[in-house]
């Protein structure tokens, strides 16, 4: 089961992927996290952020996730993947129902206020071009399986985000023996 979180930078993808991975491990499930930041240091270090590079990034991630799924692992993929067509290509690679798209739907203001790596600041200053959410697009999904959003302007905690995803997985029978 490849489970993929797609959103703007700083929306909490890596945090959710990590918390969820730990929760699945405590339930005796073998899970592996693929994260954009990490893969771009190795497997995908030849790629930049032009639309065709982002497409190739996500194509490779989909192929790797498929290998994990074949081996019986739960794969949690945490990438921006801003274009719908690239996400749909990943979905098409995998068997029906096994691709679960998680959309973290937080405001740009919240992401920008976090900015632990200072990239939004650089993008606003024009020092990074083509930064998602600032001068590059993000196409929100039309039919994701799980949407996590702010409640009354407050972002759910990592633990609450994880609970929402786990509830979905339990409901769909992914966590049964």
Ligand X SMILES: Nc1ncnc2c1ncn2[C@@H]1O[C@H](COP(=O)(O)OP(=O)(O)O)[C@@H](O)[C@H]1O
Ligand Y SMILES: Nc1ncnc2c1ncn2[C@@H]1O[C@H](COP(=O)(O)OS(=O)(=O)O)[C@@H](OP(=O)(O)O)[C@H]1O
**Binding test (CB under 6 A) with ligand Y, winner from 131, 148, 155, 169:** 131
The yes or no reply on residue 4 touching ligand Y (CB under 6 A) is no
Query: Based on CB atoms, which residue is closest to ligand X, 18 or 71?
Result: 18
State the residues that interact with ligand X by CB under 6 A: 7, 9-15, 78, 114, 116, 155-158, 161
> Binding ligand Y by CB under 6 A: which of 9, 12, 21, 62?
9
Q: Which residue, 37 or 135, has its beta carbon nearer to ligand X? A: 37
Sorted by sequence, the CB contacts under 8 Å of residue 25 that are 6+ apart come out as 31
Q: Compute CA 97 distance to the chain's CA centroid, rounded to the nearest angstrom.
A: 17
Which string of b and e fits 55-94 if b means at least 16 CB within 10 Å? bbbbeebbebbbebbeeebbbbbbbbbbbeebbeebbeeb
CA 79-140-83 angle, to 5 degrees, is: 55
Half-sphere exposure of 38 (CA within 13 A, CB side): 11
Among ligand X, ligand Y, none, the one that 84 touches (CB under a kind-dependent 5 to 8 A) is none
Tokens for 15, please give them. Answer: 């945090």
Active-site hit among 81, 89, 98, 159: 81
> What is d(CA 85, CA 87) in angstroms, rounded to the nearest whole number?
5
* Among positions 34, 75, 79, 155, the unique one binding ligand Y when judged by CB under 6 A: 79
CA distance 102 to 145: 6
By a kind-dependent CB cut-off of 5 to 8 A, residue 91 interacts, out of ligand X, ligand Y, none, with none
Question: Residues near 22 by Cβ (< 8 Å), separated by ≥ 6?
Answer: none
List binders of ligand Y among 37-56 (CB under 6 A). 37, 40, 49, 54
Q: Residue 155 binds which one of ligand X, ligand Y, none, with CB within 5 to 8 A depending on kind? A: ligand X
Q: Does 12 bind ligand Y (CB under 6 A)?
A: no
Question: Which entry of ligand Y, ligand X, none binds 117, CB below 5 to 8 A by partner kind?
Answer: ligand Y
* Residue whose CB is less far from ligand X, 97 or 135: 135
Q: Which residues are identified as catalytic? A: 81
């Amino acid at each position: 089961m490849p489970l993929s979180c797609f959103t703007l930078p700083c929306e909490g993808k890596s945090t959710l992927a990590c918390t969820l991975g730990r929760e699945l491990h405590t339930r005796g499930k073998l899970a592996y996290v693929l994260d954009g930041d990490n893969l771009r240091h190795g497997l995908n270090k030849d790629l930049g952020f032009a639309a065709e590079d982002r497409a190739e990034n996500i194509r490779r991630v989909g192929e790797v996730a498929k290998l994990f799924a074949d081996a019986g692992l739960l794969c949690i993929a945490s990438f921006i993947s801003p274009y719908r067509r690239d996400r749909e290509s990943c979905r098409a690679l995998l068997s029906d129902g096994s691709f679960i798209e998680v959309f973290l739907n937080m405001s740009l203001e919240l992401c920008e206020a976090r900015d632990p790596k200072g990239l939004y600041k650089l993008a606003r200053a024009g020092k990074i071009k083509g930064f998602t959410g600032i001068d590059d697009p993000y196409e929100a999904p039309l039919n994701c399986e799980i949407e996590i959003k702010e409640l009354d302007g407050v972002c759910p905690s990592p633990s609450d985000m994880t609970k929402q995803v786990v509830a979905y997985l339990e409901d769909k029978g992914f966590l049964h023996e």
